[in-house]
Amino acid sequence: MNKPDISTVYNPKEVEEKWYQHWEENHFFHTEVDLSAKPFCIVMPPPNVTGQLHGGHALDNTLQDILTRFRRMQGCNTLWLPGTDHAGIATQAKVEEQLAQEGTTKHELGREKFLERVWAWKERYGGRITHQLRRLGASCDWERERFTMDEGCSSAVREVFIRLYEKGLIYRGNYITNWCPKCHTTISDIEVEHLDKPGHLYHLKYPAKDSADYLVVATTRPETMLGDVAVAVHPEDARYKHLVGKTVILPLVGREIPVIADEYVDPAFGTGALKITPAHDPNDFEVAQRHDLPSVQVIDKHGVMNETAGRYRGLDRWECRKKIVKDLDAQGYLIKIDDHDHAVGHCYRCNTVIEPMLSKQWFVRMRPLAEPAIKAAVDGSVKFIPERFTKIYLNWMENIRDWCISRQLWWGHRIPVWYCRACDELVASKTPVTVCPKCGGTQLEQDPDVLDTWFSSALWPFSTLGWPSETAELKHFYPTSVLVTGRDIIFFWVARMIFSGLEFMEEVPFREVFIHGLVLDALGRKMSKSLGNGIDPIDLIESHGADSLRFMLVTGNTPGNDLRFHFERLDGARNFANKLWNASRFSLMNLSDYDPEKPVDSQDYSLADRWMISRYQATVKSVTKNLEAYELGEAARSLYEFIWGEFCDWYLELIKPRVYGKEGEKARHTAQRVLASVLKGTLELLHPFMPFITEEIWQHLPHDGQTVMHAAWPVYKEDLIDPEAEKRMEILMEVTKEIRRIRSEMNVPPSKQAEAILLVEDEEVREILTGGISYIENLARCSSQTVSQLKDDLGQAVHAVTHGVEVYVPLKGLIDIDKEIARLEKELKSVKQDLAKVRGKLNNSGYLAKAPAEVIEKDRGKEAELAAKEKALAERISVLK
């Protein structure tokens, strides 16, 4: 080897830009079908084309990249297929905002010109998030990048729509849907965020016709009463049996409405009498269907009361509520108002309160599609990791409703249905229809609506591989190996992909679903703009490097559980990268004359060598096993402990006398062999987690191939596990640590050599200590002797016990004991003062009531730290006295 050309300080930005460009220019991420190799395929959950990288994206794509790099190094025919989603509502909103700034609207432009503007916006801004994913180190096959509205995916969407329509699984009908008055489109049930909001429960009097009797109805939405068509009670509710079949008078309106009995009503909620408003409540709609009741719509698509609302016409729904409550009170119909917190549906895009509304829409009939998807999870065809998410998936699938797939937008896959204006014929077709097949007319119009964005992304695992064409990629890589996704989109996406794959490919779309949690702030809150607690991964990459961010995201992370973001953990990951860099730099400096071709006899391995080789093999086994089990956090922890705690802190120190040539050339070359092979293998194990720094260092070591990402994954060799060497080194290391601890606690200057007396009765342990005494003396800066009994009075000495070894360190000549006691007592006094101040704050109820939670939590941590320090100082003073 030549002298290493490696900088003294690790510069992540310089290294990351250089290597990513090198990887991409050399097509190292690209995959062609190789029938001789086992396929491994991941399709990237497509981020919105409007999006920019956030904490969830960073975690999700880091996990995918780790698995991809791992399987690539194992020799699999590996494809990580990237792409973006057209994000119908979000993208259209972005362009409409631009138009508003220009003083125009989409309607003034017209549909065709508007879509040209959207495509132009996509071409200009749509690559932002894919560029950011490159900064993260994502090793996707960018040459195969897809877009949900590219021609291939669009063809698949039309094919699916027509097939489902022809099977009777897509239909058009009047049904209650979730309407967003701001986005002016329907959204599906699972796109509604239910947020707990303070509200009121209004108790209203509904008089019985021709009677002094009346019903009291409790409602949270009095403005919808204008559309009431009945009052429902439970069939077994004795309070109201005499009124069932009779009619009541709708207050303010004067319309007669029937009293009906239905088991949907909960007698224990409110008054047990429920107003039925089919046009503005999904449950009421179903009750009305069972009782053949009409629907009366009183709120329009802008959230404003319509002409049916009579004198309230033109009022915003919230203004109408105030006016109606005032009028009900004035006319004696308002009995009382209770405070009532309840879940209110909000649009997940714009946070506007959803208005349930009756409208004509396109739906997918879900029950026939859900049944095989349920079976696939029950029989293990699809395995959820962690397993507990199977129950969540099954619960949703077993209670699934028909899926509203039409959206009142212009950007998206337009519904492939045409209407004949001459004879009202409806024609579904994969290609444009210009002549009516029924009447021969040519006046046809395509349905103006587009399909729900999730309709196209439900086909992602097979449409991206070329379906409906039978491509080589589709045959080889489908079903894909694993889906990596957050716990928040099991229903949005995972379930839809499963039933779509089973319907059109007759096979599940992936064998396993690896679910991860959300990235939360340090207090466990979801990150959001309103809270101002979000993180920008690109900023973190700029300040700490992509490798540090990736390693922080995965360490301490367990499948399915949320991850709290702490800057201290990110700093710790950066420290780990610097530790690895400095250790590697030391290694490379001492490998400059290393000849890998020169043979080494394993009989020449020292105890430290045999221990290091054994610990490295144990790490290979642990990392590989945990990666295969999707315990990526555990795999990272194994690597961290091995690299920092064993390789850097111990092995490099243990071999310094040999690599410095103090024990001869043969010993030096043997140490170099172990050092080079273990460092190279360790970098290969770490590469999936920290791809940039490992590539940079690996390139300076003896290696085969152009890149570490194509190196063979290290293989566990059981015959190299050496329990005896590990046992011996553990004893030597523990004794060394005790001597070091004593030196540190007694404030012994590093320049002074201590004396250590090791009292041990066990002959085997004594033999181990005698054989490894040079390790102890070098690493603990001491002269030592092993004895079976104490012969002399040691005077003032600090004592410790480990592994049956009594360690004595005489203090005479090492420190000025009186001076040290005085120093410790002064420090103890200061610590006690600080502790009293912190406890004073924490015992102050006023402070606890006003201070932010994160400040209080910080103070509690400080209290625990100071209390521990107080105890340790008192113990040291006691020993010295």
Residue 697 scores a pLDDT above 90: yes
> Which range, of 211-215, 302-306, 524-528, 557-561, averages the lowest pLDDT?
524-528
Three-state SS for 726-790 is HHHHHHHHHHHHHHHHHHHHCCCCCCCCEEEEEECCCHHHHHHHHHCHHHHHHHHCEEEEEECCC
Q: Is 358 helix (H, G, I), strand (E, B) or coil?
A: strand
The C-alpha atoms of residue 114 and residue 304 are separated, in whole angstroms, by 27
Residue 231, pLDDT score:
95
Q: What is the mean pLDDT of residues 512-536?
A: 83
Three-point CA angle 11, 14, 19, nearest 5°? 120
Residue 257 scores a pLDDT above 70: yes
Contacts 24+ apart (CB under 8 A), 491-495: 491/190, 491/396, 492/190, 492/191, 492/454, 493/45, 493/454, 493/457, 493/458, 494/393, 495/373, 495/393, 495/396, 495/397
Q: What is the pLDDT of residues 466-521, one digit of tens each?
A: 999 999 999 999 999 999 998 887 777 899 999 999 999 999 999 999 999 888 88
Q: What is the pLDDT of residues 438-473, one digit of tens each?
A: 999 999 999 999 999 999 999 999 999 999 999 999
Cis peptide before 198 (omega within 30 of 0): no
CB 520 within 8 A of CB 526: yes
* Residue 324, both tokens: 């109606």
Residue 174, pLDDT score:
86
Q: What is the mean pLDDT of residues 52-79?
A: 95
Q: By C-alpha distance, which of 769, 767, 758, 764 is closest to 799?
A: 758
Is 529 annotated in some ligand binding site? yes
H or E segment at 580?
A: helix 567-589
Residue 542, pLDDT score:
96
* Residue 589, both tokens: 């400096």
Residue 815, pLDDT score:
67
CB 82 within 8 A of CB 49: no
Q: What is the pLDDT of residues 208-236, one digit of tens each?
A: 998 888 999 999 999 999 999 999 999 99
Counting every residue written for the chain, the total comes to: 881
Residue 841, pLDDT score:
87
Q: By C-alpha distance, which of 525, 522, 550, 551 is closest to 537?
A: 550
Residue 749, pLDDT score:
86
Residue 877 scores a pLDDT above 80: no
Buried b (16+ CB within 10 A) or exposed e, 9-27: ebebeebbeebbeebbeee
Q: Which domains does the chain have, with CATH numbers?
A: 28-159+457-538 (3.40.50.620), 185-356 (3.90.740.10), 418-448 (no CATH), 561-721 (1.10.730.10), 729-815 (no CATH), 818-880 (1.10.287)
Q: What is the pLDDT of residues 174-201, one digit of tens each?
A: 888 888 888 888 877 767 887 888 889 9
Q: By C-alpha distance, which of 243, 280, 287, 244 is closest to 264?
A: 287
Residue 534, pLDDT score:
81
pTM: 0.86
The C-alpha atoms of residue 551 and residue 729 are separated, in whole angstroms, by 29
High-pLDDT (> 70) share of the chain, %: 98
Residue 2, pLDDT score:
53
> Which range, of 62-76, 514-528, 691-705, averages the lowest pLDDT?
514-528
Q: Any idea of the CA torsion for 102, 105, 108, 111, to the nearest 10 degrees?
A: 120
Q: What is the pLDDT of residues 565-579, one digit of tens each?
A: 889 999 999 999 999
Residue 617 scores a pLDDT above 60: yes
pLDDT band at 811; cut points 50, 70, 90: confident
Q: What is the pLDDT of residues 127-151, one digit of tens each?
A: 999 999 999 999 999 999 999 999 9
Residue 791 scores a pLDDT above 80: no
Give 743 or 158, the one with higher predicted confidence. 158
Residue 850, pLDDT score:
82
Whole-number average pLDDT of the chain: 92
Residue 383, pLDDT score:
97
Residue 530, pLDDT score:
62
Q: Which residue has the tokens 């009382």?
A: 336
Residue 3 scores a pLDDT above 60: no
pLDDT band at 646; cut points 50, 70, 90: very high
Residue 40 scores a pLDDT above 80: yes
Residue 1, pLDDT score:
54
Residue 750, pLDDT score:
84
Q: By C-alpha distance, which of 619, 544, 610, 516 is closest to 67?
A: 516
High-pLDDT (> 90) share of the chain, %: 71
β-pairing verdict for 480-486 and 510-516: parallel
The C-alpha atoms of residue 41 and residue 647 are separated, in whole angstroms, by 34
Residue 529, pLDDT score:
64
